[in-house]
Amino acid sequence: MASNTNGGRTALITGGAGFIGSHLAESLLDKGYRVTIIDNLSTGRIENIAHLTENPSFHFAVDDITSDVVMDRLVSECDVIFHMAAAVGVQLIVNDPVHVIETNVLGTHAVLKAANRYRKKVLIASTSEIYGKSENVPFGEDDDRLLGPTTKARWSYSTSKAVDEFLGLAYHQQLGLPIVIFRLFNTVGPRQTGQYGMVVPRFAQQAIDGDPITVYGDGKQTRCFCDVRDTVRAIVALSESQDAIGRVFNIGSTEEISITDLAKLVLRQAGRSTDMTKESIRFVPYELAYGSDFEDMRRRVPDTSRIQGALGWQPEFTLETTIGNVIASLRQRHAVASG
């Protein structure tokens, strides 16, 4: 039941039928917001928000954020914008860099133009990809960035999101628009799809199906995974903080795990053997998965001291709990689908 603590404020979520956007919509509705989402369903899914459609405080527009007429109306009617729409995922970045660049840069520009017209606060979702292949771990928000050459499509996503950040901060600094930017580090949870290279849902699906888990590279690369519930809690808190305006924040767990150890954890949570035989874990060179010019980062760890200092935020859910929820959600979906 909604708490109605926000006086009927209206939130607009771009990309609201996506993995994180749908969880954000749930959270805001629970806090008493009216929520409108816009999604062209290129990567978002109706199933993610189907359970919200009966709520009279929830509205859904199937359209593109570059539609000036639609965005003008939706922005004029909202109090705050959560700009989550983006082209994401390693597979998509490698296969369709034109779509990635155009979606991210032109989409963000369209959102900011409409927001500026009506002077609405915007929270822009960015990414840990911003830091590129820097080895200055943990990554602080004001650290230098290190990217590969423009001849490698791998770096187009990082660059497109950097342009989003520059544009958002320019609207704030030059035009006084209230902007908050948050960089997400490997958010995971139910409803996330492995279709575009996201590692946890892909591992979980393989574990459930009884297939060997496919690890790209040597598996020694490390990442930090944050439960979507923790991520959403941070995003909502940033939206309600006046002190966050004009600033950039990392959101993520600081608990590192190698991809091989992640595969073992997923196998264990799924009740499978964690031995290192080819029946359990299969290693595939990057060049076979993504092409010969693919580059990856060995470590990606956020410094979260800024958001902890500003909001007192830190993750509450363990990775074991999160993966257990992902596996349970996939199994439940399979059970429903099979009747």
Q: What amino acid is encoded at 137 in this protein? A: V
Distance of CA 275 to the CA centre of its chain: 31
Residues forming a β-bridge with 179: 122
Q: How many CB atoms lie within 10 A of CB 57?
A: 16
In whole angstroms, what is the distance from residue 69 CA to residue 305 CA? 40
Given 157, 196, 216, 290, the catalytic residue: 157
Q: Are 306 and 244 in contact (CB under 8 A)?
A: no
Summarize the chain as % helix, strand, coil (round to 5).
45, 15, 40
Burial class of 113 by CB neighbour count within 10 A (0 to 12, 13 to 18, 19+): middle
Helices (H), 77-191: 90-95, 97-118, 156-175
Judge whether 33 counts as a catalytic residue: no
In whole angstroms, what is the distance from residue 85 CA to residue 65 CA? 8
What burial letters (b/e) apply to 220-239, b meaning 16+ CB within 10 Å? ebbbbbbbbbbbbbbbbbbb
Closest CA to 250 of 159, 315, 197, 192: 315
Closest CA to 108 of 164, 170, 178, 69: 164
Output the CA–CA distances (angstroms, integers) from residue 298 to 134, 177, 188, 219, 287, in the order listed.
Answer: 9, 37, 19, 10, 16
Burial class of 69 by CB neighbour count within 10 A (0 to 12, 13 to 18, 19+): exposed
Helix (H) or strand (E) holding 282: strand 281-284
Q: Which residues are catalytic?
A: 157
